[in-house]
Structure 1
């Protein structure tokens, strides 16, 4: 399974997507993603870890080096496309030479950040990793006063990274999970039941697609929230063992009707473009790409709610180059860099000013709901499933009292096990 937060398709190349998809209608539609898996840029600093860092109080001169862990496409130096480079200008301006390691699974990212022998300063973490890093003290709070442009980032996204009064990351990009359908074959769905209700799923058996991630359990949970209210589901990312088991049963019953569990975004594009899928769980990216290729695919927001995710830059608790790291946080929060990241990866920028002036095209900003506060505030954003239900210490019995025992939730490891048992075995 590839990393849930991975956005591999270069949207700067989407000017040619119409031809790609039209050609795919006769065979198989596959967008060019192979060249988008970034290579490690430069070497890692070989000094020994300096210990556990504290929250920075001042910003000094850059140390000349910056080592990062990242998702594919989130750091670009022109190696994949000479027009796409936000690393070289940063290095020239700050003197901080960037080295980076690209990961392809949540486990790989978490393991690298836990490894005390590794020397990474920061990480671009998706929600299923971010929560674990915070809980394990693998990252430190960010002094947001040292990040120019921080307050220009979407307030909702900033709030997702707040824990016990401190902020543990700077939002980078975000997106939402929609019900995507081919309007020629499927009436506009209004509920997640279109995918998860056994009778409805059977109507389009063999033509459904699902995102291949344990976090997709949340959409099944949203369906159950309405279909089986006695389960008492409130937060689809905080499920009790009984609730998780019920979601697993829904996924297992759905499985015979699923044509593909997509890993790469391009796989879902291919499925719809080639006529192999008519209904599925996908992103605004897929709708945008397919619409630009004149495919009659639409995205719907289910009545039970829309889930979403945000990926954020976080500072390692063993950061060796804090000044360069803070300069990187400032750089990647800027509207100009956010524009490049959004175009390249096909996701919404955390800084809505990326849609101002002549930066991102208006159609892109509309498709990805950039700057739409009403929409953003109603997205149910993913967080790491945790046994303590994701509550702050001392809140509602989360300090170990009886209420915590009554509301005990399931961990991400349990979610992963349930996903594999329901969709793979």
Structure 2
């Protein structure tokens, strides 16, 4: 059979097809309003003139412009001073935040990043190294928090807010006062309160269970509750699975925990000083205890997007949100501890609030086991035998959402 045009014709058809695909791709990108993927940028070396725009991704309550409450606004003064117009997309969940920051077609300048996401964004090169010399007030921030955001000699974030996980309980119902995480993790003790426990809805709760097991089961040889081998992770998952029948709810929004405790649906569980402060001022029966095993903590930090389009405005924002006055507003609005201890000076914040959070108490903060994104690399001298965040997420889902028999 005679060939129609031979190899040269096929090449021309292939070339024409490739050109058509390229044209269609451009049309589709334009139609959808998307940008082509942008290569990551490096560390900013100097702050230039304001670019006039700042695009942020934030967790709820962390970027307020007065729309939620006219009295709560740290965006408008920033815009007036810097001429950087702020646009923010609120991430309802941590996974939403990760999806936004890992989208190669988006150019967010920065985000508030919790420990569940920080390691993943750093390892995936979705955030850029931070130049702390360009962040005014950086050295005023809590040193322990700053150290959590370093990889060797590279800084990847600026501390913004933090907190600790305590035993929160109703002293009228829970007697005697709890002194150990066994009150919520030992089924025999947790079962005393008839499915009235509350627990944080995050895979990092496995770290609290591991902290409990560290002293409860020495044979597991747990050192770091956030660097667990598969066997250690499985043991922590079993603790939560046995606890599950006694849990009233798993909370993400702190307000949900307040509601459960205020209405009596819950009488014991994981909580923050925020819950004790709010409920105490409302006249509710509530108290907090520091378990003998210790407490875990968390921090949310501002990170610079790897594809930041407005780095000068972003660094102005880092400086602004590190200032004591803004830190005061954030702490009051969201109920978190400020990363800048100066927010508790000169009567900016109530003394009771600052004392409850141990702001500036470096002896206390030094003992907190701060969460980080679990990784297969176990850390210093630990090798690579640990479970990564995906395994933690799977273990968490299995523990709190058991398959019906």
Q: Which one of the candidate residues 207, 217, 236 is aligned to 1:247?
A: 236
CA contact (8 A) 2:141 2:341 kept: yes
Q: Which one of the candidate residues 181, 191, 195 is aligned to 2:184?
A: 195
What do residues 6-40 of structure 1 show as CA deviations (whole Å, max 9, x unaligned)?
A: xxxxxxxxxxxxxxxxxxxxxxxxxxxxxxxxxxx
CA distance in 2, matches of 1:242, 1:119: 40
Q: Which one of the candidate residues 281, 292, 304 is aligned to 1:292?
A: 281
CA distance in 2, matches of 1:367, 1:305: 16
Partner of 2:362: 373
How far apart are residue 368 of structure 1 and its match?
2.1
Judging changes above 3 Å, is the alpha-carbon distance between structure 1 residues 322 and 213 closer, same or farther for their aligned structure 2 residues? same
SS of residue matched to 2:315? helix
What do residues 20-61 of structure 1 show as CA deviations (whole Å, max 9, x unaligned)?
A: xxxxxxxxxxxxxxxxxxxxxxxxx97766532111121111
CA distance in 2, matches of 1:172, 1:131: 16
CA-atom RMSD in angstroms:
1.4
Q: Which one of the candidate residues 158, 167, 182 is aligned to 2:155?
A: 167
Q: Does 1:214 align with 2:203?
A: yes
TM-score (norm 2): 0.89
Q: Does 1:178 align with 2:166?
A: yes
CA contact (8 A) 2:179 2:292 kept: yes
SS of residue matched to 2:159? strand
Partner of 1:410: 387
Larger Rg: 2
How far apart are residue 263 of structure 1 and its match?
2.4
CA contact (8 A) 1:222 1:236 kept: yes
SS of residue matched to 2:160? strand
SS of residue matched to 1:404? coil
CA distance in 2, matches of 1:316, 1:195: 39
CA distance in 2, matches of 1:164, 1:276: 46
How far apart are residue 198 of structure 1 and its match?
2.1
Partner of 2:49: 61
CA contact (8 A) 1:48 1:119 kept: no
CA distance in 2, matches of 1:367, 1:225: 26
Partner of 1:225: 214
Equivalent residues in 2 for 1:112-127, closer than 5 Å: 112-127=100-115
SS of residue matched to 1:214? coil
CA contact (8 A) 1:70 1:100 kept: yes
Q: Does 1:86 align with 2:63?
A: no
Unaligned runs of 5+ in 2: 1-32
Unaligned runs of 5+ in 1: 1-44, 397-402
Which stretch of structure 1 is more off in the superposition, 262-271 or 132-141? 262-271
How far apart are residue 108 of structure 1 and its match?
1.4
How far apart are residue 289 of structure 1 and its match?
0.7
Judging changes above 3 Å, is the alpha-carbon distance between structure 1 residues 257 and 241 closer, same or farther for their aligned structure 2 residues? same
SS of residue matched to 1:134? helix
